Copies of this chain bind each other. A is one copy, B any other.
C-alpha cells in the first residue's frame, strides 16, 4: 500500500508524470490559441518551484501531539512539508492558482493516516480533549474548498488522510450490498468488486483520484447516475465517528423512524462526523455495455430528444448532451484517424454539414445492464432520438469519449500555464426551467467574463447530464485568460467576480446552488439563501450537538453565525 499512489502532483491534477498530451492532436493547440487569445509561444504563468515554497510554521499542541505519538505508529503521523502541502487544498481554480504561486497560508499542521475505525475514534477523542481541528481527506479532488484547513480560532489543524482504510469488508450477494471502507479510490472499488462479478457503478469525473468517503461527504454524482443514482441514493448504512459518539445507521432498505440520518450525514462535508464504513448498494457487472455518440442539429434539438426519452420512461444509463461549443471542443480535441478512415470521415462531415449538422450538438449516450433490458432501452432511445433528428455516429466515438473522459482536469493545468481562468459551474433544475435558466446563466457568464477580463475570445461550453424524471443538471466549463499581467490575487479576484455573477444568476433562476460539487467555502455565501435561515439554523444545531467544540472541518458548509 503506497500513500503516493493516487496522489496529485503538488501543483496540479494527477500524479507526477501524468499530464495532458497535445501530441497527435495537430489542430487542438491552434484552436485553443485562437479561442483563448493565446499568443505567447511559451507558458506565461508556469508554477513556482517546489523549493521556493516556505510554509507557515506548524501550530503545535504539545499535549495532543504527545498523545498521538503514543497511540499511533510513526508512519501514520506526518508533519513534513510535502505532506502538509499535499493536503492544503483541493483542486478548485482558486486552489490551483495559490498552489502554483506557492501561496499556502493554511496548510494542516499534521497529516494522520488512520488504519481503522478505532484509529479514527482515538484521534477524534484526542482532538476533542485538546481542541484540535480535524479535516477528513479522501483524494483531495474537491473543487469548492471542502478540505482546506481554515479555522477562525486558529487552532492546530490535523488532516485525516483516509486512504489507508481501503478495504472491501464484506459482500452480501443476496441483498446486493457491500461494506466498504471510505478510503477506497474509485479504481480500487471497481477492481475489488469486479473480481467477484459486482460493480458500484459510480464514475464521477474525478473517479481515478477520489474516494468513497469523499463522494459520500459531498453528494457526488457519477456519469451513470441515471442508472444507479447519485452516491446518496446508493448508500444504505454508515458508521460515522462524531465527537459525541459513533452513529451507526441500520442497513435496511427503507424505514419510517423519523428523519433519515443517512441523508443528514451524506453531504455533511466532514463537519458532523468522519465516515469510517459504508454499506453500499451494488449490482452485477453489466453484461451489456454500449457507449455511442449522436449528433443533433442543435442543442435545442438534443434537449427535446432527451426530454422525450425521460417523459416516456426510457432513460439511458448515461446521457450527456453538449452544446454546440462543447461539441466543437470534443471534435477538435480528438486524435484524428488516418488513411482511408480519414477520407471517409472528412466526406461524412461534409455530408452532415449539408444536412443541417454544420454546428451540431453531441449526445454521448450509454446503455448498460442486463443484455435484454439494455438492448431494449437502446432501441427505444435511439428511435426517439431519430425522431428529433439525432444522427448516430456509432460506438467508435462513444468509446473514445469513454476512454478520455477523465482527461479534462489535466487540460486545465496546461491552460493555467498560459494565465487561464478555468473552472466549471453546475446546477440542477426542473425540466420546465432548464432552458430558460440556461439562457439566463449563459448570458450572465458571458457578460461578466467580458467585463472582468476585457476579452472577447474565450471558451464557454455546457452540457446537460444526470437526468431525473423531474429535471437535470447543467454543467458549464469556462476557460478565459485573465487580464494580461494579473497577479495570482488578481486572477482569483477576476474568477471570484465571474463565480459570483454565475451563482447569483443560477440562484435567481431557481437552480440548485450545486448539483454535485458540494458547498465548502466557495458556495457558503449562498447557503442560507438556498436552505432558508431556519434550515441553516437547524444544521447549525445538529453541528452543535454532534461537534460542540466545532473541531470538525470548521471552514466548510455551515457559515459561522
Contacts and interface: CB of A to CB of B under 8 A. Distances in A.
A518 B249 CA distance: 16
Interface residues on A, range: 35 or more
A311 B263 contact: no
A512 B431 CA distance: 36
Contact of A471 (B175, B517, B530): B175
A544 B527 CA distance: 21
Interface stretch (A53-61, A253-261, A329-337, A408-416): A253-261
Given A175-B471, A245-B533, A263-B264, A255 B430 contact: no
Given A255-B514, A534-B546, A174 B307 contact: yes
Given A252-B430, A253-B472, A537 B244 contact: yes
Contact of A428 (B219, B252, B272, B369): B252
Given A251-B430, A469-B281, A527 B257 contact: yes
Chain copies in the assembled complex: 2
A247 B470 contact: no
Given A245-B532, A261-B538, A431 B174 contact: yes
A533 to B, nearest CB: 6
Contacts of A557: 258
Interface string A536-558: 01111110111000000000011
B534 A253 contact: no
Contact of A176 (B242, B470, B517, B537): B470
Given A370-B312, A432-B174, A538-B542, A523 B257 contact: yes
A177 B265 CA distance: 27
Nearest to A310: B176
A372 to B, nearest CB: 8
B471 A532 contact: no
A269 interface: yes
Given A242-B534, A257-B267, A268-B258, A469 B541 contact: no
A257 B531 contact: yes
B545 A219 contact: no
Contact of A175 (B176, B221, B430, B535): B430
29 contacts: A172-B431, A174-B431, A176-B470, A177-B430, A219-B255, A245-B532, A247-B531, A247-B534, A247-B535, A251-B430, A253-B429, A253-B468, A254-B468, A255-B515, A256-B517, A256-B519, A257-B512, A257-B523, A258-B269, A258-B518, A258-B519, A258-B557, A259-B268, A260-B264, A272-B538, A534-B545, A534-B546, A540-B545, A541-B541
Given A245-B534, A249-B531, A253-B429, 6 more contacts: A173-B432, A176-B311, A257-B531, A258-B268, A259-B267, A261-B531
